[in-house]
């Protein structure tokens, strides 16, 4: 791998010890990059599923406060994941669009 192929650090879709951000420096083709891509796909799919579940639960007048609090906690987790993915992908778009001033 030459220095020309190395991109800026990629924000990974999971937190490290103590909730700190994890970054990967690579050319984007390695095993860990593929794991991160898969993890992003899983997280986005879970968030989509949760949106459907939320719509059903909010339409059900029998939903209890405890059930709604649980749903809200899961929605917060999903939003955190989706935000991290958007931030990571947005940063990579900026790098890809940079003509190498």
**What pLDDT digit, counting tens, does each position of 71-84 carry?**
999 999 999 999 99
Alpha-carbon gap, residue 38 to 36, rounded angstroms:
5
**What pLDDT digit, counting tens, does each position of 14-56 carry?**
999 999 999 999 988 999 999 999 999 999 999 999 999 999 9
Q: Where are the domains of the chain?
A: 3-97
For residue 6, is pLDDT > 80? no
Instruction: State both tokens at 26.
Output: 């690579």
Give me the pLDDT at residue 95, please.
64
Give me the pLDDT at residue 93, please.
87
- When pLDDT is cut at 50, 70 and 90, the band that residue 1 belongs to is very low
- When pLDDT is cut at 50, 70 and 90, the band that residue 2 belongs to is very low
Instruction: State both tokens at 93.
Output: 């778009």
Region 91-101: mean pLDDT is 71
Burial 2-24 (b: 16+ CB within 10 A, else e): eeeeeeeebbbbeeeeeeeebeb
Give me the pLDDT at residue 58, please.
96
């Amino acid at each position: 791998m030459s220095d020309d192929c190395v991109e800026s650090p990629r924000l990974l879709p999971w937190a490290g010890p103590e909730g700190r951000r994890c970054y990967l420096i690579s050319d984007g083709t390695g095993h860990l990059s593929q794991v991160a891509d898969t993890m992003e796909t899983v997280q986005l799919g879970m968030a989509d599923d949760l949106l459907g579940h939320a719509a059903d639960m909010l339409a059900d007048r029998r939903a209890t406060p405890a059930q709604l609090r649980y749903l809200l906690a899961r929605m917060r987790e999903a939003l955190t994941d989706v935000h991290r993915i958007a931030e990571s992908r947005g940063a990579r778009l900026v790098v890809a669009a940079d003509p190498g001033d």
